[in-house]
Amino acid sequence: MNNSYQTRARALAPAFAAMAPEWDRTRRYPWPNIDDLVGAGLMGMTIPREFGGAGASWLDCVLAVEEVARECALSARILVESNMGAISAVMAYGTPQQKAFCAALVLEGDKPAICISEPGAGSDATAMQTTAKRDGDRYILNGTKHWITGGGVSKLHLVFARVIGKGGRDEGIGGFILHADPAPDGFEVIRRERTMGLCGMPEAELRFTDVEIPASRALLPPRGFADLMSAYNSQRVGAGTIAMGVAAGALDRATAYLNQREQFGRPIAEFQGLQWMLADMDTQVHAARLMLHEAARSGEGGFPDRNLAARAKLFASEMAVKVVNDALQMFGARGYSDAEPLERMVRDVRMFTIGGGTAQVLRTQVAGHRLAIRVPQTRDGHIPSPVAVAAE
């Protein structure tokens, strides 16, 4: 498959590859790469044309993300979050003013931060304690969010909070658009985590103390939290694609090395033990890619299907941890050193079974979907295919 977004992303990849070790070593945010993503029209490519974007599809985006992730997972995360997740929630459920405001920031190069997790609310996001209390024509935000990707560098924040309406009534969870440049009174970046991978990306703890948000910046879709989380299905497809892209990059590097390195008087590619490893890696990467493309296609005109997105991210993230690690193994001691990018890729890819829904939580979701499928048994005991039943 080839399309113009993919081609543009591929053109940026060599420069991104050259700088990737630097962002990792110095833990700096890759601002120059963002300029390149903006210049190539990839930042905010899925934003509708009426708001200045290119109206690209989820599949277009996924194709571009894979190309970038092969060389620089850090930049691929920025590409995902400028198209999927928080920005897609605003584009789906926001007012025209909110859409125009957020789109302009992203198209200029801002990676929005999505603020859901809290010290006491990880997998169980609905346990969040951050509140947004209605006070006339504004909301007052109080609480703490942690592990916020981009905290401290992002301007746009979509903060999830429990909405407290008139008379102290709990109105469920809503989103609040906060612009952090300059930081409003009461907004603080408390600390930055020291992560094992994706080191140029700040993961921050944020505190909100009586932060005032105009009511016009509240994102309150009809089904509340359920709608906001439906936008997250796009981010899951994006996250799975980064993992798959890193694995694809590792697979290519391993393939080249097998032909180049000689032991026992011949290229190590001639050893069947390594050939079978390589075949498994190739098969797994391809399977993940197909699942991710299927999930991306399911979202045309809306958001990716919840189950397809969960399944694809689950498979791609676990696959990538194994495939990248196996690629490192094929390089022997060289793979364990910074002479090759494999050691960084192993660290970078590790987070994808945790962030954006852990592998365990995604399994629970996939199983729940599976168990909800009605599987009628015919009189002779034949069980029709659940796929056929689900399509009824």
Ligand X SMILES: Cc1cc2nc3c(=O)[nH]c(=O)nc-3n(C[C@H](O)[C@H](O)[C@H](O)COP(=O)(O)OP(=O)(O)OC[C@H]3O[C@@H](n4cnc5c(N)ncnc54)[C@H](O)[C@@H]3O)c2cc1C
Chain positions contacting ligand X, by CB under 6 A: 114-117, 122-123, 147-149, 203, 351, 354-356, 358, 360-361, 364
Between 123 and 209, CB nearer to ligand X: 123
Between 104 and 359, CB nearer to ligand X: 359
Token pair of 198, please? Answer: 């994706």
Between 203 and 340, CB nearer to ligand X: 203
User: Which residue is closest to ligand X by CB?
Assistant: 122
Structure letter (DSSP) for residue 134: E
Q: Where are the alpha helices (DSSP H) in the chain?
A: 4-26, 31-39, 58-71, 73-81, 86-93, 96-108, 225-260, 272-297, 306-330, 342-349, 359-372, 386-390
Between 44 and 175, CB nearer to ligand X: 175
Query: Which phi and psi angles does 162 have, rounded to 5°?
Result: -75, 125
Considering the complex, what minimum distance in angstroms separates the CB of residue 218 from ligand X? 18
Considering the complex, what minimum distance in angstroms separates the CB of residue 118 from ligand X? 8
Considering the complex, what minimum distance in angstroms separates the CB of residue 42 from ligand X? 20
Whose structure tokens read 């029209």? 41
Considering the complex, what minimum distance in angstroms separates the CB of residue 379 from ligand X? 38
Between 195 and 255, CB nearer to ligand X: 195
Considering the complex, what minimum distance in angstroms separates the CB of residue 161 from ligand X? 12
CB crowding 221-241: b at 16 or more within 10 Å, else e: beeebebbbbbbbbbbbbbbb
For residue 263, give the 3-state DSSP assignment. strand
Considering the complex, what minimum distance in angstroms separates the CB of residue 141 from ligand X? 15
Query: Which phi and psi angles does 102 have, rounded to 5°?
Result: -70, -40
Considering the complex, what minimum distance in angstroms separates the CB of residue 351 from ligand X? 4
Residue 134: which of 255, 220, 72, 215 has the closest Cα?
215
Considering the complex, what minimum distance in angstroms separates the CB of residue 74 from ligand X? 11
For residue 364, give the 3-state DSSP assignment. helix
- What span, in angstroms and rounded, lies between the C-alpha atoms of 17 and 337? 17
Between 116 and 278, CB nearer to ligand X: 116
Judged on CB neighbours under 10 Å (0-12, 13-18, 19+), 359 is: middle
Contacts of 204 (CB under 8 A, 6+ apart): 146, 147, 148, 150, 151, 152, 189, 190, 191, 192, 193
Considering the complex, what minimum distance in angstroms separates the CB of residue 125 from ligand X? 7
- What span, in angstroms and rounded, lies between the C-alpha atoms of 364 and 354? 14
CB 134 within 8 A of CB 215: yes
Between 57 and 130, CB nearer to ligand X: 130
Between 142 and 364, CB nearer to ligand X: 364
For residue 20, give the 3-state DSSP assignment. helix
Between 53 and 175, CB nearer to ligand X: 175
- What span, in angstroms and rounded, lies between the C-alpha atoms of 288 and 255? 19
